[in-house]
Every structure is written in structure tokens, then in C-alpha cells.
């Protein structure tokens, strides 16, 4: 399976994402600069964290105007997996690929630590290697991770089982209903604030995030290799 790691001016988690795919997962991966106009030849797309365009205007707002975003929207429309982490999640909401928005943390402070997540839906292409209700340890590092949406959108997320991860115990940023990660209606686009790529090897404190990437590869192989 071949992954694209999108890179914008100000991205700073692109190397972490690349490492998780190449060295921990053992799959193909390439960086794709934001000025590119195609994702042809890739099987999955990863939108990393950081501070794209310095977070000017709003987090992810300027990145959404980049050339590569048209290709990413087409890529997602084809049903291919798209993962956005932290600033990547913010970019996905700005682009309309996911509903809602990420607001300032409730305490108005940047937070960087490991949190506990609960797997609310393990029947997605991103979570099939987890158990339902499994609690995992994943790092966060954000100042605007407070997920918000209106009542109608929340009802839709709940009805469609689109809430994939929630914060368990402590809600570090004030997110609505403890939401830490959601998928689109089709289930092929995931946005989450915590960083699974920073939890891909026990040497850095844990490998709970690696199962997320293994889940993507497992489903892709079932669809493309075993058929």
C-alpha cells in the first residue's frame, strides 16, 4: 500500500507520519508538497499536524486553499482512506470533508501530554484492529482542539456512529461530548486531534497508535490483494 503525506508550509508532524508508515508499518510512503495537483498512484492520504501557514486566519483555513486540496477531495470522493491528525483534522473541517470546527481549548492553553481515548466505533477502516470500547494511550499537542458542531450535526454523528474516538476520563480541551475523532458518512475520512503517529513504537512510550495504521492496511489488502 502506498501512502501520501501532504506537506504544507508550517507542517511539523510530517516526518513523524512518514516514519510511522515506512519504519513501523513497513509500507510505501512519499511526501507530497502542497502545490501538487494530483494524488494519482497513492492508496491512502495522510494530512499531518503542525501549524500550516502559521495558523493565520484560522487553523487550516489557508491550507484549504492549496492546490493539493482539490486532489484530496477527489481522492476522498473515490472512497480512498484519508486521515487528518491535529492540524490535519482542522484542515479537513475547513475543507468540508468533515463536519464541525475546532475551537480554542477551553482553558485557552496549548497542551502537550498523553491522554486516554476510548474506541467508540471499531467497525471502520481505521479501527478494525481495536476492540470495541478499548482504551488507548495517545499523545495530544494542540491549542485549538475543542471540537464543536451544532445540534443537528451532533445528532447525525451519533445516529450514523461517526464518533470514532472519545476522551476517556479527562476531556483536555472541552470538546463537545468528549469527541476526539470522527469519520465522514462514508467512513473513509477520519479526523482526530490526538497523534497516533507519535504512539507507534514502545520506545517512545507506547504503540497504541500503530493499530490505526494497521487497520487501514488490513482493509486495503482485503479489498485489493485478496480479491
Pick the closest to residue 124 from 28, 177, 189, 47 (CA basis).
Answer: 189
Q: Give residue-wise pLDDT tens across range 181-213.
A: 999 999 999 999 999 999 999 998 899 999 999
Active site residue 224: no
Q: What is the pLDDT of residue 225?
A: 74
Q: What is the pLDDT of residue 223?
A: 86
Out of 27, 86, 120, 144, the active site residue is: 86
Give the range of the structural domain holding residue 187, as residue numbers without chain letter: 2-224
Q: How many structural domains compose the chain?
A: 1
Active site residue 86: yes
Out of 13, 94, 142, 195, the active site residue is: 195
3-state secondary structure of 151: helix
Pick the closest to residue 14 from 118, 85, 108, 98 (CA basis).
Answer: 85
Q: Give residue-wise pLDDT tens across range 109-136.
A: 999 999 999 999 999 999 999 999 999 9
Q: Give residue-wise pLDDT tens across range 72-103.
A: 999 999 999 999 999 999 999 999 999 999 99
CATH at residue 171: 3.40.50.880
Pick the closest to residue 224 from 125, 130, 132 (CA basis).
Answer: 125
Confidence of residue 226 (pLDDT cuts 50, 70, 90): low
Active site residue 149: no
Cα–Cα distance between 117 and 60 in angstroms, integer?
24
Amino acid at each position: 500500500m502506498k501512502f501520501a503525506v501532504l506537506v504544507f508550509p508550517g507542517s511539523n508532524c510530517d516526518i513523524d507520519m512518514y516514519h510511522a508508515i515506512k519504519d513501523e508499518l513497513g509500507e510505501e510512503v512519499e511526501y507530497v508538497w502542497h502545490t501538487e495537483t494530483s494524488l494519482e498512484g497513492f492508496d491512502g492520504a495522510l494530512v499531518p499536524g503542525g501549524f500550516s501557514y502559521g495558523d493565520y486566519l484560522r487553523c487550516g483555513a489557508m491550507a484549504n486553499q492549496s492546490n493539493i486540496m482539490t486532489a484530496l477531495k477527489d481522492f476522498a470522493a473515490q472512497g480512498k482512506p484519508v486521515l487528518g491528525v491535529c492540524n490535519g483534522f482542522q484542515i479537513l473541517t475547513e475543507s468540508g470533508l468533515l463536519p464541525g470546527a475546532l475551537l480554542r481549548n477551553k482553558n485557552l492553553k496549548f497542551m502537550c501530554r498523553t491522554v486516554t481515548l476510548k474506541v467508540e466505533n471499531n467497525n471502520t477502516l481505521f479501527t478494525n484492529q481495536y476492540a470495541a470500547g478499548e482504551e488507548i494511550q495517545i499523545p495530544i499537542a494542540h491549542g485549538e482542539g475543542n471540537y464543536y458542531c451544532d445540534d443537528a450535526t451532533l445528532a447525525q454523528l451519533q445516529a450514523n456512529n461517526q464518533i470514532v474516538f472519545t476522551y476517556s476520563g479527562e476531556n483536555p480541551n472541552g470538546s463537545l461530548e468528549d469527541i476526539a475523532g470522527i469519520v465522514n458518512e462514508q467512513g473513509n475520512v477520519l479526523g482526530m486531534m490526538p497523534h497516533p503517529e507519535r504512539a507507534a513504537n514502545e520506545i517512545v512510550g507506547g504503540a497504541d497508535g500503530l493499530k490505526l495504521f494497521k487497520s487501514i492496511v488490513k482493509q486495503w489488502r482485503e479489498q485489493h490483494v485478496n480479491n
